[in-house]
Chains A and B, each alone.
Chain A
Amino acid sequence: MSDEIISPRIYFKNFGALIVLLLLTIGAAYLDLGPLNFVLAMLISLTKTALIALFFMHIRWGGKMLHLAAGAGLLWLGILLALTLGDYISRGWLPVAQH
């Protein structure tokens, strides 16, 4: 685990960045970009998640084992999303299912 002391400045900078991203989210909701709205919102929220995980949760300073644990969490989330979306995407493939 991290032995070094992390200066509070990093947390404040991080907090600032999160607030900026929050404002961006709100702003983006007022733009009409069609399907890109969703993509943009997702990109912003992924950035927020990454900031929180890396800095607030100290994963950036963690050892190999911590990285492995965090990576496993991501991989498992990937399994959930991939196999669930696999169902939704392939539902229309069978002619019968289209009524």
Chain B
Amino acid sequence: MQIGFSFNVSRCSGCMACVVACQDENDLHGDGLNFRHVTRLEKGQFPAVSMSFLSLACQHCGDAPCMMVCPTGAIYKRDKDGIVDVHQEICVGCHSCALACPFGAPRYLENGKMSKCHFCVARVEDGREPACVRVCPTKALGFGSMDSLSRQKAEKASMFLLEPLMKVSGP
């Protein structure tokens, strides 16, 4: 099974609650140490401008490049849910994953070890939602198994951002 995030760009208001909830859940107090990022997207020229937001964290890729380039085998993928996580005691902090990741997901703790979104693995194991999904007031962020997300997607054409995400995250 592979779980993934879904994101509905037409619902996101850029409120950053997901970022704050993530920091809080993961005790991220360091400068710029966020696992989730919200990017403002502006399109067009005045007066025909549109603004939208994109909330992005690790995509837990099916064929994760960070895992492939890791020299120690510290980065691994869980069989049961496809979560990509890191054994910090094995990480040497070489930063190879930062260069390999097309989303800019890997971050480094003060001790030099890589750390990134792990899907709030403890919460998910408990049957709860990841912190970012839980707080999202507009329900722009969602999560679930890739199968159920693609079923939902078929039902909701507005989730147009999901498709590229699935390409990455699908097993």
Whether chain B is bound by chain A comes out as no
